[in-house]
Amino acid sequence: RELNTAYETEGLALDFWTGFDSTWKEPGKYFDQPSVVNRSLMKPCSDTNLYNDLLMSAYLSASGDTTGVVVQPDGKVVANCPGDGYFWLAPSCRSDPTKCVLYLTGGGGYGLSEVLQKATKWNIPLAFGVALTWGDFTTLPTVHKSMFYWWVPDPTFLEMSPVKSMFPAHDRAAWQRGDLSTDPVGTFIGIVVSNDLSTLAPR
């Protein structure tokens, strides 16, 4: 019901990729800004897969986002994380981080390749950051209005009743080419929205 109200009043369907398209709306205003996240609970980009040459080279090849990466003197491709180096910003909010949608993940950067490609392809103004520890990853989405990584059947965030963000139907040929901008196959959940949608997209 709240999703329908948000769509009817502001055109925001926060369970579909179109609701985050910054070409038409400013979804970032419904989420916490990356600047408010305690950096002591986060990994700098340099300590995550955002500095993995193989993954970031694949992202660059698939997206063509030359300003989202930095080619180091040795030829390795790493993420361009502006400011204090804790968040990668999608092209649609790179010039103004206050318009970014906070996105939190864990490990070395669970879901990195898929999330970065989707944010770039579908004009989602995303700020991608990695929690320092597993405990931080499981706690941060409960205290910040954010999108976050999740998978099933993991029970970690079940009490939050997270809502999966839907993307265009799985394109097998595209995925085989390294284009991950459509939904994955099966029941995997990679990008979800905080449960309090009535707050995130009020009437």
Q: What is d(CA 203, CA 107) in angstroms, rounded to the nearest whole number?
A: 36
**pLDDT at residue 3, rounded to an integer:** 43
Q: What is d(CA 85, CA 96) in angstroms, rounded to the nearest whole number?
A: 15
Residues 6+ apart with CB under 8 A from 38: none
Residue pointed to by tokens 């950051």? 129
Q: What is the mean pLDDT of the chain?
A: 85
Q: In the predicted model, is pLDDT for residue 137 greater than 90?
A: yes
Q: Which of 45-59, 68-82, 138-152 has the lowest mean pLDDT?
A: 138-152
DSSP output for 88-114? EE-GGGTT-GGGPEEEEE-TTTTTHHH
Q: In the predicted model, is pLDDT for residue 120 greater than 60?
A: yes
Residues 6+ apart with CB under 8 A from 57: 77
* Residue of higher predicted confidence among 45 and 201: 45
Over residues 5-9, the mean pLDDT reads 54
Q: What is d(CA 110, CA 149) in angstroms, rounded to the nearest whole number?
A: 7
Q: In the predicted model, is pLDDT for residue 200 greater than 50?
A: no
For residue range 9-33, what is the model confidence (pLDDT) as tens digits? 576 677 767 777 788 788 888 889 9
* Residue of higher predicted confidence among 177 and 189: 177
Rg (CA), the chain: 16
Q: In the predicted model, is pLDDT for residue 171 greater than 50?
A: yes
Bridge pairing between strands 69-71 and 77-79 = antiparallel
- Helical spans, DSSP H, in 100-157: 112-121, 134-143
Q: In the predicted model, is pLDDT for residue 162 greater than 80?
A: no
Cis peptide bond prior to 153, omega within 30° of 0: yes
Q: Which of 50-54, 64-68, 126-130, 184-188 has the lowest mean pLDDT?
A: 184-188
Q: What is d(CA 14, CA 51) in angstroms, rounded to the nearest whole number?
A: 30
**pLDDT at residue 90, rounded to an integer:** 97
Q: In the predicted model, is pLDDT for residue 179 greater than 50?
A: yes
* Residue of higher predicted confidence among 10 and 99: 99
Phi/psi at 192 (nearest 5 deg)? -130, 165
Residue 203's pLDDT band (boundaries 50, 70, 90)? very low
Q: In the predicted model, is pLDDT for residue 197 greater than 60?
A: no
Q: What is d(CA 190, CA 165) in angstroms, rounded to the nearest whole number?
A: 8
For residue range 37-74, what is the model confidence (pLDDT) as tens digits? 999 999 999 999 999 999 999 999 999 999 999 999 99
